[in-house]
Amino acid sequence: MTRYTVLPIDTAVLKKLRVADDAGRPCAPYIATRDDLGSPLRCCLRPITLGERIALISYAPLRRWAAARGTDPGAYDEQGPVFIHADDCGGFTPRENYPFDRPGALRTVRRYDAQGHIAGGRLLEIPADATAGFDAAFDDAFNDPDVVLVHVRALEYGCFHFEVRRPSAEEQ
């Protein structure tokens, strides 16, 4: 069982992204082909399957978090490509393991402070016990009292996979 709560793209944000993405481009849905199989969907945090109606959009994962806190992440307000379902999919259902946890895959675990600035990070080669590997990486990140959230990204493309926030006192 995972010790940290994984956060996909928020449903209210998805509704807006299905109209126009964070680069201002209109959403352009299409039917998933073999080339798309296995790519991560950030709305429900599972791999794409053949024939699903999906969209590749530009997403700025830090933008809304920072705006809600009245901070300006400056240059750290980056955006990049992510896949989502083109229609409401019901969202993410928490499970026993972390999403996209294929042993041997390389991930960056990027740390952010309360201003939305990068506060370090590390490379994670997902071990055979992927849950323990992610838990240890998140433990390490949140041992720094300045770290308030973590983004997990694919090393190969830099794509945002999911977010984890500092656990509340009740959760620790």
- Residues 6 or more apart in contact with residue 32 via CB below 8 angstroms: 48, 49, 50, 51, 52, 53, 54
On whether both 72 and 36 belong to a single domain, the answer is yes
Say how many domains are in the chain. Answer: 2
The span from the CA of 149 to the CA of 7, in Å, is: 11
Instruction: List, for residues 36-78, the tens digit of each pLDDT value.
Output: 999 999 999 999 999 999 999 999 999 999 999 999 999 999 9
On whether both 77 and 140 belong to a single domain, the answer is no
Residue 98: inside a domain: no
On whether both 72 and 11 belong to a single domain, the answer is yes
Instruction: List, for residues 97-127, the tens digit of each pLDDT value.
Output: 999 999 999 999 999 999 999 999 999 999 9
On whether both 111 and 46 belong to a single domain, the answer is no
Q: What is the pLDDT of residue 171?
A: 54
This prediction's pTM: 0.92
**Domain residues for 157?**
106-165
On whether both 36 and 70 belong to a single domain, the answer is yes
